[in-house]
Amino acid sequence: MSSDYFSHLTEEEKNILKHKGTESPFSGEYNDFYKSGIFVCRACNSPLYQSKSKFDSGCGWPSFDDEIPGAIERFRDTSLGRVRTEICCVNCGGHLGHVFVGEKFTDKNVRHCVNSLSIRFVDHQKLQQIIFGGENLWFFQKKFKELDGVYLCKVNKVKKTIFDHIEFINKTNVNFLKFYFNSKKTTLETILNIFLKIYASTNFLKKNTNRLLILCNDKKQKLTIENLMLQKNKILKNPIFSNILLYEDNV
């Protein structure tokens, strides 16, 4: 747990995230809060929860029935004379709250009970979104998570209907790399350049799997990507064949 993550926090926030305190029930700003977006760690800005996983449990603290994969770590906690499971941000170790199983509030039967002061909301409307579709994109996930301003990066399996748009060599290995980013911190050009640099330097192209699907946020983003791809392919030994499309939010 690095102290640098907590140096910018208020004393109240630090008491919870660093010293494992708890805010009073029904006092937090996110207890009764249901806007569309993501919740990030207040200490290190790592993405923790999507708003669609938030629900009203009536407990007085924000409740979530799912987490962003790989975002949360769990620890045995006996501090109150009974066994509980503490949840912390996997990146900085900041204390978030506790997780409970078996209460049957939702179909997932899980409740992350989280302090509002441990998290911060980022509105989807303030973020751009881009999706890459291709073969074996799991490798790229970590690279984008390390970029400042990339708040959500996850890999999903491709829906069958997407194959109507592009022909892949091996459909069983195709997945989506999907993320939200703040263009004021990390530009679209930076993201695409990093992606193509890694993509072109791996063995993807050697195996003739150099087909890529890019799903864009809007027409402006699509034009930017088309121009960047055109420039890149002029200097690549093996051009990357890409389909650049506008997407509907069904991926």
**Catalytic residue ranges:** 113
Cα–Cα dist 250/236, whole Å: 32
DSSP helix/strand/coil, 226: helix
Query: Which DSSP symbol is given to 55?
Result: E
For 71, residues 6+ apart whose C-beta sits below 8 A from its C-beta are 46, 47, 48, 49, 89, 90, 91
The Cα 174–Cα 77 span in angstroms is: 40
- Asked if residue 74 lies in contact with residue 35, where contact means CB atoms within 8 angstroms, the answer is no
Q: Which two tokens stand for residue 88?
A: 């912390």
Nearest to 120 by CA among 140, 144, 96: 96
> How many whole angstroms separate alpha carbon 168 and alpha carbon 153?
23
